[in-house]
Structure 1
Amino acid sequence: MATIDECRAALERLSDHMQGAAGHVRAAAAMDRSVSCHVTDLDVTFVGRLTDGRIEVDETLQGPPPEKAQIRLAMTGDDLVAMVGGELHFAKAWGSNRVRLEASLLDLFRLRKLL
């Protein structure tokens, strides 16, 4: 089972990948939205913002997110680490309900370019 530190590091790597992207992927990541990532097996939520093509984690909270972020992810720590590491494809994980992604319809259309 992935640790909290491994999950935080995975989010930082994801953020680095997004900021280093070009073209339509970079444009899709250039939103300004509140973000939460609930790691279900650890019952921990990383809360922050997607801004300037980066995910900035502001807090790590015990339990589910206290407020509804504009972009919400939920998954196990192992799935988070595997997705960022390229071992698990997001679309496959999402299709099999291993990952939950909730956002407005407009944000979902923009985020699909990142996937």
Structure 2
Amino acid sequence: MAPSESQRARAIEELQKAPLNWQQYDQLSVKEGGKLLPTMTTLCIGSGRKDKLRPGDILGALTGEAGIAGTQVGKIAIFDFQAYVAVERSMAKQALERLNNGKIKGKSLRVRIL
């Protein structure tokens, strides 16, 4: 710890009401457990507000024929020429396939996973 950081370290100790556990970097061990992945994945849709696309249209396409529950769909953001929708990671490929092969408002869409 640098001398300029000691005041911050003391403030953290006071907030936690416990001393900090300091170790040398080479003494730290790597814990097994795999990668930390977010629960949601974002899909980018190549259509947006200018194409009269609404969040309800996207949600309906995903929950209708795709068989994805509404609770597995997160935020939907619509911009002028693109839309973004968050879906659970386990359902991302199914959602991608449904949106790429199906139609929304009679139009085929280009969708990709970010």
TM-score, scaled relative to structure 2? 0.31
TM-score, scaled relative to structure 1? 0.31
Structure showing the higher strand proportion among its residues: 1
